[in-house]
Amino acid sequence: MALINKVEKSQTRAKSYTLDLRIHSPASLGYLGIQGLDTAPALVRLAKVKGLDVIALTDYHSGAYIDRISAAAKNSQVTVIPGVDLRCSIGGCDDITLTVLFDEGFTSAQVEEFLREIDVPEAASGNKEYVIQTPIEKILTLIEYYQGAVFPSRIDKTPYRLRAIPTLVEQYGFRSFDVAYHESVDFFKKHWPKYKFNIFSFSDANALAQVGSRTANVKLASPTFSSIKELVQRV
């Protein structure tokens, strides 16, 4: 499944790229690995076979696998974006996932440093059930400090999460969302008809076979973090 996203006219439209910006690895609890297979090179090869130009590794509360995936992609045409998924509390809802992305040169150690800065304990590594207690304002400030990018993921999956969207849009300025359901596009159009949104649907892959099962096709100046950051920036 792919959602074609509308990019603001100010964006340089050089070429169309296929992105899957939410992929997990064995660093996430519950990942379905294949015994005897090295996930890192297998993931990169699969991304290439499926025609992905850019992938992002976003394990819950962990950067442990980033260095391995980045190394596996070093001589390939696939761009690997280091990232991390965070489960946060916003507007009374404690089931909000923020997908955070960093520059291509970001290492596992730097992601772990960021996690310690937002008070995520090492024991929470890979655990999507852990809820970060740090206020969202501090998390967003530290993402900016680390020159990262962020967007909410699967915010439309349940009515409980759905209630947080107005706060995310109106208070925190999010204009890019990774959604679970295609029809959620209409929700944004109905409530904020004058706003320009980028609505994606990424795989949230928890196994190799799921990589690229959902993608976004967008026109970017280049298949790089800097272009993606410009695309998903808050207002």
Q: Which domain holds residue 90?
A: 2-232
Which CATH number characterizes residue 205's domain?
Answer: 3.20.20.140
For residue range 110-168, list pLDDT tens digits in order: 999 999 999 999 999 999 999 999 999 999 999 999 999 999 999 999 999 999 999 99
Domain count, the chain: 1
CA 10 to chain centre: 23
Q: Are 212 and 197 in contact (CB under 8 A)?
A: no
Structure tokens at 50: 């499926």
Q: Indicate the pLDDT class of residue 33, thresholds 50, 70 and 90.
A: confident
Determine the Cα–Cα distance for residues 69 and 82; give it in Å rounded to an integer. Answer: 9
Q: Would you say the pTM of this structure is higher than 0.85?
A: yes
